[in-house]
Every structure is written in C-alpha cells, then in structure tokens.
Structure 1
C-alpha cells in the first residue's frame, strides 16, 4: 500500500487529489504546520532529509517532489489515462506544463508570499519583478487555457494536477479577476468529484481549521 506523508495546506494536495483520482489503496500520515511559523514540523524531517511534503512510501522506497511523484504514480497506475502517449504530438506539451507549475509559476508566487510575511514594503526591485513576472506568466497561461477544460488535449492529465495547487489557491483568494480563463479552468478542476473527495480529506486532517 502507498503511504502519503501529507502536510496541511501544501503541495501535497496535488498528490492527495491524484491518489483519489487513481483509486488506488493508500493511507495518509498527517503532519501539521507550526501554528506560529506555518513551517513544516520536525516529524517530516524524520521521514525524509528535506523535511518537506509530499513524500510517498511505495515498494519500500521514499519519493519526494510533487512533480516526480505525479509522474511516477501516473506511469505506474494510469499511463494511458492520465498522460498522452510518448509518441504523440501532445507529449512534449504535457511535460512542459508538468514542469511549468514549479519551475516558472511558483517563483513569483512564493516571492510575493515571503515578502509579505517578512514585512518587506516599497522595495522597487522586488515589487516590480514580482508584479511583472506574475503578470507575464498568468497572461500566457490565460491564453493557453481559453475555452479548455484541461490544459493538454482537452483531457485530464498529470499537468492539470500540477497546475491545480497554484491556480485553485489563486481562485479561492479572488486573485484571478484579470485572468478569467484561468479562473474558469481552476474552478472547473475544483469541481471534479475526485478533487472534492481530496478536499474533504484535507479538511478532516487540517487541524488549523475550526
């Protein structure tokens, strides 16, 4: 059985949703963010040296990094259903979006979060970079998802799982008013039955709620 080390309000939501969509047997080991720092607890460091989530245990091995876990689980359990064929014209596009979520989009979002938490104000360089880069990336993505239910081949794939964490978070914060196609795409993903099941689990395990 797969064991998911799940941290509340984290990228682990991608993996939780994917496991629900796959319908495979798994168990959740819950880890809670520190109520003051909002950082991951030491319990995750006891699982993996990086001390981050998601981490899965499968076949006696540990795997970290949500992108790698997404690709690994899909290759194992749903290569024909949740990714394009490797010899198809969509496969390269699929890989691009799998990696876009972390390698491009996440940077300005994290910088924005960290500067606010650190109380950094009126830094012309940081403010200018974050605003411009975020707008550039979201504008590009907004054009790409226009009239699409899913990002690649109009079919649910690993790329949607990877993009979901960033985009659904922004949609819930009402931060996508200038990017209506992204908002529609994100809310459509959030309406899927498997995503709804994963969110019910997230709420059940998140001790910071209520």
Structure 2
C-alpha cells in the first residue's frame, strides 16, 4: 500500500487529493508543525533527509517533491486518469500548468512572502511594489487562462488543477495573494470545491473548512 507522509498545512495535501480522486488505497501518516517555528518536526528526517513533506513510500521507493510524486502515481497507478495523452492537442497546456505551479507561481509567491516578512509591515522599500507587480503578472496570466477554459488543461479536470490549487488555497495560511478582480480564478476554485475527492482529501489533510473559499463565498464546514 502507498504511504503518504503528510505535514499539516502544506503542499502534501496535493498527494492526498490525487489519491482520493484516483480512488487508490493509501495510508496517511500525519505530522504537526512546530508551534513556535512552524517548521516540520524532526522525525520527518527519518523518512527523507530534507525532513519536509510530502514523502511517498511505495515499498522500497521513497520519493519527495509533490510534482514528482504526482507524476509517479499517475504513471504507475493512474491508468490514464487525470492526465492528458501526449497525442492530445491539450497535452502542452497540461504539461505547462502542471509544472508552472511550483516552478514559477509558487516561487514568485514565496519571494513576495519572504521579502514582506524581512522588510516589515511598515516598510517603504521600493522592492515590495516591484515584486507585487511581478506577482500580479502571474495572477493575470492565470486569470486569462481560466477565462478561456474551465480547467487548466482545457474542458476536463486534471492533475494540473491539483498542482495549481495550493497557491490559491492553503498557501493563504502563510501569504494571501488576494483575488480581488479575479472572477475566473474564483469560479475555478468553486468548481473544484464541489468535487467529492477534493472534499474528502481536505478533511483527511486536517481542514475543517475549505482552505480556498474564504474570499467571500459561504460554503460552510466540510
């Protein structure tokens, strides 16, 4: 059986969600963040040297990195589900957004978050508006994509949507990018929120309420 080492309030919830959507059996091992530092507990280092989550164990295989784990699960156990065939016209979009989530969007959010913390709340540093302008370019790119299709790879929900969710959902616990004037992103989040696999996964990951929909919509507890 697949074992998922999950750190609460982290990107490892992507893997829980993927497995729920694929209806694959798995064992979930949950770790709490240190209440002072908010870092992962040291016992995660006994699973993977970096001591971060997610970590997937599949018999003798131990794998970290949410994107790599998602690709591994899809390739070995997905049977074509939640992925796009390489022969499909939508394959380039699927591939781009699947990797854009962490390679570009999460990187830009992280830079803004760390810079804001380092500068302080009342800082007049010219760097912060410049970084915010760059982040807004990314958000507009996402908004424009979702104005043309309901999901990132086209008309169907795929693993690219799972990868893209975290920056707009649970990441808000650390840095809220804001979604004012982003109606297409909000509509996409609402579509995802209605998926049973998503709801089951967020419960399993430790959320009492939908982490993505506190921007004004009243969805209630799971």
**TM-score, length basis structure 2:** 0.85
How far residue 174 of structure 1 moved from its aligned partner, in angstroms, is: 8.3
Distance, in Å, in 1 between the alignment partners of 2:5 and 2:171 is: 24
Q: Partner of 1:195 in structure 2? A: 198
Q: Partner of 1:161 in structure 2? A: 162
Distance, in Å, in 2 between the alignment partners of 1:2 and 1:103 is: 26
Distance, in Å, in 1 between the alignment partners of 2:70 and 2:26 is: 15
Change over 3 Å in CA distance of 1:119–1:43 after alignment to 2 = farther
Q: State whether structure 2 residue 74 is matched by structure 1 residue 71.
A: no
C-alpha deviations, 1:141-198, integer Å up to 9, x for none? 1010116332112111110110011123478958211211111112211221100001
Q: Do the aligned partners of 2:22 and 2:81 also contact (CA within 8 Å) in 1?
A: no
Q: Partner of 1:123 in structure 2? A: 125
Q: Partner of 2:212 in structure 1? A: none
Q: Partner of 1:45 in structure 2? A: 45
The DSSP-based 3-state class of the residue aligned with 2:130 is helix
Q: Partner of 2:80 in structure 1? A: 80
Q: Partner of 1:114 in structure 2? A: 114
**TM-score, length basis structure 1:** 0.89
The DSSP-based 3-state class of the residue aligned with 1:146 is helix
Distance, in Å, in 1 between the alignment partners of 2:36 and 2:107 is: 23
- Matched length: 204
- State the superposition RMSD in angstroms: 2.0
Q: Partner of 1:208 in structure 2? A: none
C-alpha deviations, 1:116-154, integer Å up to 9, x for none? 4445322212x0332111100010110101163321121
How far residue 75 of structure 1 moved from its aligned partner, in angstroms, is: 1.2
